[in-house]
Structure 1
Amino acid sequence: MKKPYQKPTILKLQVGFLREKKSSLSRMVRQEIDGVPVAELVEKFGSPLFVFSEKRLREQFRYLKRLFEGHYPRVEFSWSYKTNYLDAICRIFHQEGATAEVVSNFEYEKARRLGVPGDQIVFNGPYKPKEILRQAVLEGARINVDSLDEILDLEEIARETGEKLRIGLRVNMDTGIYPRWDRFGFNLESGEVLNVARRIAAGGKLEVVGLHCHQGTFILEPEAYGRAAEKLVDLSQKLENDFGWTIEYLDLGGGFPSRNRLKGLYLPPEVAVPPLSEYAEKIARALLTRLPAGDYPLLILETGRALVDEAGFLITTVRALKRLPDGRRAYILDAGVNLLFTAFWYHFRVEVEREIPGPPEPCVLYGPLCMNIDVVEESALLPPLARGTRLVLSPVGAYNVTQWMQFITYRPRVVLVTEKGNVEVIREAETLEDIVRREKIPEHLK
C-alpha cells in the first residue's frame, strides 16, 4: 500500500545531544497509570478519558497532614469543593479526615448530600443566598462573611432564631502578591475590617470567632503566607482586646501550587515551584512567634490544587494531522479546552503511550472544537505522530472537571484507579438524553 504523499518541509530542529543510551523521548512515554495500561483503559472506557489515582490522592493528603502537623499543633484541612467536586474524589478526602470548604449553595448542598455534617463545613463565597445561609446557620456551619449585606442577612436570621450567631470575617490584605485579590471580604490596610467589627459589635447579634483570607491561586511565594499569618494574628489580638471576642480559628485559604507549569514561567516546575515544606515553615514560624505560649487557635487550610492536581490524567487520541502555513505540524485531538479549561493558564506534561521513532519537532495540539481558541498546547516537542496515537496529559486533576463545559460534544467518562488496582467509573459519559432532558418545546413549535 502506497503511503500518502506529504509535501516536504524544512525546519531547523534543536533536539540537543544524546548523552544517555536511552533517547530523551523515552522520558516522554507513559504506558500505564498506576499499573493499568493506557491502551487497556482506552479500549474499555473510550477516549478522551479522565483518570484519577486513589493512591496518589491519599498519599498526598497524608503527606500534607504530616507536614503541617509537624510544624503547628492544631491543623484542619478543608477540602476545596470548587477544585474537584466529583463525589468519589470528595469522599476520599473526607475519609482521610478533611472537612468541606464550599462557596455556593450548590456546593453546600453537595457536601450535605455526601453526609458531611453542617459543623464540618466552611462556607465562603461572595454570594450566599439567604435560604442556604439560614440552613447553614441552623446546621452549625462555619460562615465566613464577605460583605455588609451578608451581615445584615445574618442579623435578620439571628433575630429569627433568638440566638447570637458565631461568624468569621473574610479579610483581604497586602501580602506582596500581585494582582491583589481584594474583592473578597474586608480590607485590612484601609481600616475597613475594623469599621465592620465595630458595626457588628454595635448590632449585638453576631460574634466574630474566626478570621479568613484568600490571597489568590498558584502562589509561588511561601513568604506571602507568612505575612498573611502575621497580619491575621495581629488582627485577632486587636479584636479580642477591643471587643472581648475569642478568635478560635485562623483560615489561610488556599492557593497552594502543584507541580504544574504556569504559562510565562520558563523554568520547569521542579525548579520554579517551591516545595510545600517551605509554606508550612513560613506559616508555622509566623504563628508561633506571634501567638502567646499555649494559645493556639485552629489553623484551617483550604488545600485544593496541591492535593488533587497531580493525581489526575487525561488520555486523548490524535484524530487528524495537518501542516500549518509556517511549516509546523499540528494535531487534532479528541479533547480540547472544553475539557481542559486550565489549558489557558498552564502547560501540561505531554506524554505518548509508547516510544515512537523519529526526531521530535515543535508542534501544536488542537482540540476538536470549531473555535480558534481551542489550543491545548501551543508548542509541544513531539516525534511524528500517526493518527490514532494516544497522548497522556497531566497534571489535570484540579479545576478541569468543575470548569469543563458541554459545547458541541459530550463530556467523557471519568475513572478512578483504586488502591487495589481496579478501575471504577466515577462519572459516566454524557449522552444526548443527559443534555436535552431538561429542555421543553412550547406547544406551538411541535
Structure 2
Amino acid sequence: MKQKYERPSIKKMNTGFMNKFGTRTDFDPVKEISGVSIKSLIADYGSPVFVLSEKQIRKNYQSAARSFKTRYPKVQFAWSYKTNYLNAVCKIFHQEGSWAEVVSGFEYHKALGNGVAGNQIIFNGPDKKEADLILAIENHSSIHIDHFDELYQIIRICEQIDKKAKVAIRVNFDTGTYPIWDRFGFNYENGQAWTAINKIISAKNLVLTGLHCHIGTFMLSTSAYAVAANKLCELAMRCKVELQNPIQYLDLGGGFPSTNTLKGAYLPGVDTVPSVEEFADAITNTILSFGFTADELPLLILECGRVLIDDAGYLIGSVVANKRLSDGRRATIMDFGINILFTSNWYDHKISVAQEAGQYTEDTVLFGPLCMNVDVVRESITLPLLEPKDNVVVHKVGAYNMTQWMQFINMRPAVVLIDQNAKCHLIRKPETLEYLEMMEQLPDYLK
C-alpha cells in the first residue's frame, strides 16, 4: 500500500549566543530603520516617535497572500482597521488588494474615505448604530450579525427603507482552546447559529451570503482553525442541502500571532509561533477535503491584522534617567510608557540600543515616565548600561499601539512612514495642547 506523502517542513530557529535562560543575548546596536538613521529620525520628529516601514508591510502582505493563494483558489484578505487605522497604513493594504474589515461606524466611514467600495467592506462588531447599518445596506456591504437584537433591527430597517441587506452571521464554537470566545456571535453547539440562519432565510429582505468566525487573538494553535473551518463547512453544507441557500464565502477572521514574545513565555516568539503557511495548511486542507465540488468552493476571507503589521512598526525612545531600587535592581526611566506602548502589557518586546555600548550588562527594569506604578515597559531585561539621552528601539509595535494608545500625562507622539525609497513621511502629527483643548468648552461663569 502506498504511503501517504507528507510535505517536509523547515522551522527557523533563533540562533546566537545563549544567556543562562537559554535565549539569545543580542546587543548589536540598531542604528537605522529601512535605510534611515535613528539619529536623523529623532532630530526631525522628536523622541519618542513611532516608525512604520512600508517595505515590510508590503512584504508581509504579499507573503501571507501567497501562502493562502497557492493552496486555495479563491482567497480575499480584508485589512483589520482596528489593528491600525491610520489612513496611510490602510491605503497601503488596499493598494495590495485588501478589502476593509471594520467594527464601528467611524471605521466604516474611514474605509469609504480611503476609497474602498461598499461591497468590499465587511462590517463586524456588536454595536452597529442604526445610521451606520442603513449606510452599509445602501452601499451593499456585508453585515456580520452578532446577536438576535441586531438581526431584528436589520429586518426592521430593511422594511422601512425597502432594501435588501447582504448579511452573514458570526458563529462561536468550541475549537479545543480555552477560554472559548463565546461572547460574540451565535453558538454552534447549542443550535443558536442554526436558529439565526433559519430566521435570516425566512426574512424576505435579508440575503445570507456568508458565515464568519473569529476564535481568538494571538492564537498559537493551527488545529483550532481546522476545527473552526470544519464547523463552518458543516453549516454551509446544511444551508445548501436543507435550505437551498448556497454560502458564497467563509470568513475565518484573524487572530494569527506575530513573532512577539508573550509575557511569561519560556521561549521567544520567533521559535514558538506557527507560521502563516502552517495556518494556511490547516484552514485550506480542511475546506478542500470537506466535499465541496470545484464550482461550489466558497470564497475564503481572512481578516488578518497583527501578523501583517506588527514587525513593520518600531518605537524609538530616549533614556530619561537611571536609579537604584530598594532591592538593588537597576532601573531605567524612558520617555515612553504604557500610555503609548499598550502592548507592553502583553509582550516582552525586544528592545535594542541605538548606539555603541559597553560590554558590561546588567538586569534592568524599564519604567515609563508616567506617575503610575504600573508604568512598566519591561519588568526584567538584560541591557548594556545606558546614559540619559541614549536611544533605544522597541521592535514589533505596529499592531494596536496606534489605535489603543491614550493621551495621559504625556501627549501622543508623531508617526512616521518610511517609504520603499527610504524617504520619510509624517503620517500623524505629534499632539499639541491646542489640539487637546479643541473639544473643551469653558462655561461663562468660569471665564
Structure 2 length-normalised TM: 0.93
2:245 matched to 1:206? no
Query: Equivalent residue for 1:336?
Result: 337
2:43 alignment partner in structure 1: 43
Instruction: Work out the CA distance in 2 between the residues paired with 1:134 and 1:265.
Output: 45
Check whether the contact 1:362–1:382 (CA below 8 A) recurs between aligned residues: yes
Amino acid aligned to 1:146: D
Given that residues 310 and 396 in structure 2 are in contact (C-alpha distance below 8 angstroms), is that contact kept between their aligned partners in structure 1? yes
Counterpart in 2 of 1:312?
313
Report the counterpart of residue 385 of structure 1 in structure 2.
386
Please give the residue correspondences for 1:7-26 in structure 2 after superposition, counting only pairs within 5 Å: 25-26=26-27
1:425 maps to which residue?
426
- Partner residue in 2 for 1:301: 302
Structure 2 counterparts to residues 184-195 of structure 1, below 5 A: 184-195=184-195
Asked if 2 retains the 8 angstrom alpha-carbon contact of 1:171 and 1:186, the reply is: yes
- Structure 1 residue aligned with 2:10: none
Report what 2:403 is aligned to: 402
Local SS of the residue matching 2:338: coil
Between the aligned partners of 1:147 and 1:205, the Cα distance in structure 2 is 18
Instruction: Find the aligned partners of 1:173 and 1:278 in 2 and give their Cα distance.
Output: 21
**AA partner of residue 126 (structure 1):** P
Alignment of 1:136-285 (within 5 A): 136-285=136-285
Code of the residue aligned with 2:414 in structure 1: it is: R
Number of aligned positions between the proteins = 427
Q: CA deviation at 1:189?
A: 0.4
Paired amino acid for 1:133 = L
Q: What secondary structure is seen at the aligned counterpart in 2 of 1:261?
A: coil
| Residues 233 and 291, structure 1, Cα contact 8 Å, conserved in 2 | no
SS at match of 1:327: coil
- Alpha-carbon contact 1:265-1:272 (below 8 Å) kept: no
Residue 236 of structure 2: SS of its match in structure 1?
helix
AA aligned to 1:405 is M
Matched residue, 1:346: 347
Q: Does the CA-based 8 Å contact 1:15-1:360 persist in structure 2?
A: no
One-letter amino acid of the counterpart of residue 205, structure 1:
N
TM-superposed deviation, 1:36: 0.9
Amino acid at match of 1:48: P
TM-superposed CA distance for 1:293, in Å, is 2.5
In the alignment, is the contact (CA less than 8 A) between 1:207 and 1:245 conserved in 2? Answer: no
CA distance in 2, matches of 1:434, 1:272: 43
- CA-based RMSD of the aligned residues comes to 1.5
Any gaps of 5 or more consecutive residues in structure 2? 1-17
2:426 and 2:348 map into 1 onto residues whose CA distance is: 27
- Please report how far the alpha carbon of residue 16 of structure 1 lies from its aligned counterpart in structure 2 after TM superposition: 5.7
Deviation, 1:254, is: 0.4
CA shift, 1:222, in A, is: 0.8
CA offsets, 1:263-289, max 9 Å, x none?
121111121101111000011100000
Report deviation, 1:24: 5.1
Mapped partners of 1:168, 1:15: distance in 2: 50
| Secondary structure, counterpart of 2:182 in structure 1 | coil
Distance 1:79 1:219 in 2: 18
- Deviation of the 1:204 alpha carbon: 3.1
Q: Secondary structure at the residue paired with 1:429?
A: coil
CA contact (8 A) 1:126 1:146 kept: yes
Q: Which amino acid aligns with 2:388?
A: R
C-alpha distance in structure 2 between counterparts of 1:201 and 1:307, whole Å = 36
For 1:203 and 1:54, the matched residues in 2 are separated by 45
**What's the offset of the Cα at 1:178?**
1.0
Q: Is the 8 A contact 1:329 1:362 kept in 2?
A: yes
* Aligned equivalents of 1:349, 1:148: Cα separation in 2: 44
Q: Deviations over 1:145-177 (max 9, x none)?
A: 001111111111221233442210110011112
What's the counterpart of residue 364 of structure 1? 365
Aligned to 1:327: 328
1:411 aligns to what?
Answer: 412
Q: 1:117 to 1:25 in 2, by over 3 A?
A: closer
| Alpha carbons 1:78, 1:99 under 8 Å: kept | yes
Could you give the per-residue CA deviations for residues 117-171 of structure 1, whole angstroms, max 9, x where no partner exists?
A: 1111000001100110010000011111001111111111221233442210110
Q: What's the secondary structure of 1:409's corresponding residue?
A: coil
Give, in whole Å, the separation in 1 of the partners of 2:66 and 2:188.
32
**Contact 2:103 / 2:123 at 8 angstroms: preserved in 1?**
yes
Amino acid aligned to 1:427: R
- Percent of aligned positions that are identical: 48
- Letter in structure 2 aligned against 1:57: I
SS at match of 1:262: coil
Q: Mark the CA change 1:68 to 1:147 in structure 2 (over 3 Å): closer, same or farther.
A: same
